[in-house]
Chain A
Amino acid sequence: MSNALLQVKDLHVQFNGQRKGQALSGLNFEVAAGEVLTLLGESGSGKSVTLRTLLRLHPEKNTLIKGEIIFDGQDILSLNPKAINQYRGRKVSMIFQEPGLAFDPVYTIGQQLTEVLRTHEQLDASAAQIRALDMLERVQIPQARKRFNAYPHELSGGMRQRAMIALALVCKPQLLLADEPTTALDASVQIQILLLLRELQKETGMSVIFVTHDIGAAVEVSDRIAVMYAGRIVEIGKAVDIVSKPLHPYTQGLLASTVRHENRGSPLVTITGSPPNLAHLPKGCSFAPRCLRAQVNCLSEQPELASTDSTSFACWYPNS
């Protein structure tokens, strides 16, 4: 799409703290207005790092960021601290995996919601309270007025995640970053939260980047899915195409190793080995050491994302 809301171009992130690692190596993607993109991958693939980089949450001292992030015509990596504060929470906001840790335990839910409104929209206390209560009702928290004065620890996991979503959406951001919002929840609550996110997205028309390792959850919410491996996107395309006709061997392996009903009674198909160490990434394709189709050139040359009609993939020997 030509007028993308967010463009990420050749993004590299390197951590130089106590542990070194190349977390992202050359990430390219776009998110259109009103689109839900899922970043799907295993731990260490760079999904969460991508989200944190989009909000510039990494300590600048020991993080090396190269590349470009263009949001709504603005270059995010060159914003000054004051502009960053306006950008975070107002235009782009984030929900985290563990809502119990993301809230400040010493303030009530209501105080935290109104604080955001009073900072970003300069509302007075009573107007902020009306907006905040309205938001709590929109995320379907029962007895919103009572919960408004509750502390985070007084809410159950599902309620806390709803409150977290309310906090993220109260300033009507254009882009919501959802970092594994349902991983810590029970299946029956997970589906409620996924449905809520889908509903709110339709209602507000915002874009969402949804990060998960659960293919089922990804399929439930997303328009497009980007599969990440070792800091790169290895395959990106419409959710249907990724699930039904994956081309990259990693995507195929990931789908095959997901336990389904048909698998009972026979051994599961697995991807041998484990993800590479980010401090010593292999030279060529980072999936080559685990790949059954790897040839000599896979070990030395890095494949670029190449597009077909339906999906783009980074592989020398794709298989349909």
Chain B
Amino acid sequence: MSQETTTPLNTQDRGGPAQPILVVNNLKKYFPVRSGLFAREGKFVHAVDNVSFSVAKGKTLGIVGESGCGKSTTAKLIARLINPDSGKMVFDGDGVAEYGGIALKEFRKNLQMVFQDSFASLNPRLTIEQTTAYGPTVHGVSRAQAFAQARSLLQRVGLAPEQFATRYPHELSGGQRQRVNIARALAYQPRLVILDEAVAALDKSVQAQVLNLLQELKSERQLTYLFISHDLHVVHYMSDEVMVMYLGQVVEKGPVERIFSHAAHPYTRALLSAIPSMDPAKRTLKSPLEGDPPNPINPPAGCRFQDRCPLVKDICRSVSPMLAPVGVVYDHTVACHLNLEPPPHE
């Protein structure tokens, strides 16, 4: 047996490629709002409300939506940085943190996260080499081995160890720090990486470098990504499947090309047409959506998009739409009463 397979970091592929790496069922998180000393109950922020989805092995699932729609809360619930009120997760066939399933500590080795703020997510007192090696040593890898691995990872993400290994986070630029965060996430040899707005804070030229790096690493290491972003161009570039969230619920999900060409939910369509055009001759003339995203505290009955929807009907105000397949297209689902015709292909 080679040394590679005896490390505690080793993971094996079970269930074959057809089994989704992560299945999330009815995930729910309500945050209580205290408005005064005597008004202690009643108000809740419905941050994530009955969200169910699955992520296929080796694919990238993009999650889009406006701020406050529950994208980041979903990510934190999956990583168990906060505990869900209810809901179940199955990681490659094993229930997470339940009897007979995969233990939380083991699960976390398989799942890593990269956050938006590259500076706040690094310990300012550790050099980037120490930061990258820290996790594996906690999980039982010998110090020497963890450091050797850290240096090769830093090399892989484009930070030459001779030059960078002993630097502290404040000595690096934003793009370099985000590379360190990626190296640190990969140090556990995870199988699922959650990228929560990981490139949003970067400049365009640096963002392109990091996106390329992420794509290379994905194919090199057979990673699965959960890619959260509000930038639809970037989501289109990175994702195989897209999930659109609105006020804590999934409103549409499907293969990326299908969503970007045949969106079936009025909200998805509005989001897509809110992208500024790059052609001065084709300036946007009318805003596709009026108003701000509504308050997630005690949302209205019925469809949550009703107040901003240009096509709202009576049924939308009383009955919550369920996710249902669009026409005959396999795996394109939408939660809308309107049964919109697909727009003509541009």
* CB atoms of A263 and B237 under 8 A apart: yes
Asked whether any CB of chain B lies closer than 8 Å to the CB of A111, the reply is no
Q: In the complex the two chains form, what is the Cα distance from A215 to B231 in whole Å? A: 13
Residue from the list B205, B237, B279, B289 in contact with A42, Cβ < 8 A: B205
Per the bound structure, the CA–CA distance linking A261 and B231 in Å amounts to 12
For B163-203 the 0/1 string (1 means CB < 8 A from A) is 00000000001111000000000000000000000000001
Chain B residue contacts of A194, Cβ below 8 A: 276, 284
Residue of A240, A243, A271 with most partner-chain B CB within 10 A:
A271
Is B90 on the interface with A (CB-CB < 8 A)? no
Which residues of the partner chain A approach B175 to less than 8 Å between Cβ atoms?
274
Name A196's closest neighbour in chain B (CB-CB): B287
Q: Which residue of B lies closest to A238 (CB)?
A: B280
Q: What's the least CB distance linking B206 to chain A, in Å?
A: 6
A257, B207: Cβ atoms closer than 8 Å: yes
Determine if B276 and A216 form an interchain contact, defined as CB atoms under 8 angstroms apart. yes
Interfacial chain A residues near B104, Cβ < 8 Å: none
Name B205's closest neighbour in chain A (CB-CB): A271
**Contact of A195 (CB < 8 Å), options: B277, B284, B291:** B284
Contacts of B203 in A (CB 8 A): 42-43, 213, 275
Q: Is B277 a contact partner of A257 (Cβ separation < 8 A)?
A: no
Bitwise, B249-283 to A at CB < 8 A (1) or not (0) is: 00000001000100000000011001111111101
A267-300 interface code vs B (CB 8 A; 1 in, 0 out): 1111110110000000000000000000000000
Task: Pick from A157, A215, A261, A268: contact of B211, CB below 8 A.
Answer: A268
Contact A216 B275, beta carbon cutoff 8 Å: yes
Decide yes or no whether B317 CB sits under 8 A from chain A.
no
Contact across chains for B276 and A268 when beta carbons are under 8 A apart: no
Cβ contact within 8 Å between B204 and A42: yes
Q: In the complex, what residue of chain B is closest to A221 when comparing beta carbons?
A: B283
Q: Using known A-B contacts A42-B203, A43-B174, determine if residue A261 contacts B292 with beta carbons closer than 8 Å.
A: no
A158 contacts which chain B residues (CB < 8 A)? 292
A135 contacts the other chain (CB 8 A)? no
Residues on A with beta carbons closer than 8 Å to the beta carbon of B206: 42, 274
**Segment of A8-16, A64-72, A123-131, A184-192 engaged in the interface with chain B:** A184-192
Query: Which residues between 148 and 167 of chain A lie within 8 Å of chain B, taking CB atoms?
Result: 156-159
Contact in complex: B208, A268 (CB < 8 Å): yes
CB <8 Å contact, B288 and A219:
no
CB–CB B234/A274 < 8 A? no
| Of listed B173, B215, B278, B291, residue having the most chain A CB within 10 A | B278
CB-based contact B292/A189 at 8 Å: yes
Contact of A261 among B204, B233, B291 (CB under 8 A): B233
Give chain B interface residues in 270-316, CB to chain A under 8 Å: 270-271, 274-281, 283-284, 286-293
Partner of A219, one of B176, B208, B231, B277: B277
Q: Is the CB of A216 within 8 A of B278?
A: yes
Which of B205, B232, B271, B280 is in CB contact (< 8 Å) with A243?
A: B280
The answer to whether A219 and B233 touch across the interface, beta carbons within 8 angstroms, is: no
Number of chain A residues close to chain B: CB under 8 A: 43
- With an 8 A cutoff between CB atoms, is B212 at the interface? yes
Q: Is the CB of B287 within 8 A of A259?
A: no
**Would A188 and B208 be within 8 Å (CB), given that A43-B203, A220-B276, A259-B234 are in contact?**
no
For the complex, give the distance between the alpha carbons of A215 and B271 in Å.
Answer: 18
Asked if B10 is at the interface (CB within 8 A of a chain A CB), the reply is no
Among B173, B176, B256: residue with most chain A CB under 10 A:
B173
Interface check B209, CB cutoff 8 A? yes
Chain A residues, Cβ within 8 Å of B277: 216, 219-220
Check if A214 is an interface residue, CB within 8 A of chain B. yes
Q: Which of A246-263 contact B (CB under 8 A)?
A: 253-254, 257-261, 263
30 contacts between A and B (CB under 8 A): A42-B203, A42-B204, A42-B205, A42-B206, A157-B292, A159-B292, A186-B67, A187-B232, A188-B287, A191-B284, A195-B286, A213-B203, A214-B276, A216-B277, A219-B279, A220-B277, A243-B278, A243-B279, A254-B205, A258-B278, A259-B233, A259-B236, A261-B260, A268-B208, A268-B211, A268-B212, A270-B209, A270-B212, A271-B208, A274-B175
Q: Footprint of A on B, CB under 8 Å?
A: 66-67, 173-176, 203-209, 211-212, 215, 230-234, 236-237, 256, 260, 270-271, 274-281, 283-284, 286-293
Chain A contacts to B: CB under 8 angstroms: 42-43, 142, 156-159, 186-192, 194-195, 213-217, 219-220, 239-240, 243, 253-254, 257-261, 263-264, 267-272, 274-275
Starting from the known contacts A186-B67, A257-B207, 7 additional A-B residue pairs (CB-CB under 8 Å) come to A157-B67, A190-B274, A219-B277, A219-B278, A240-B280, A254-B204, A259-B207
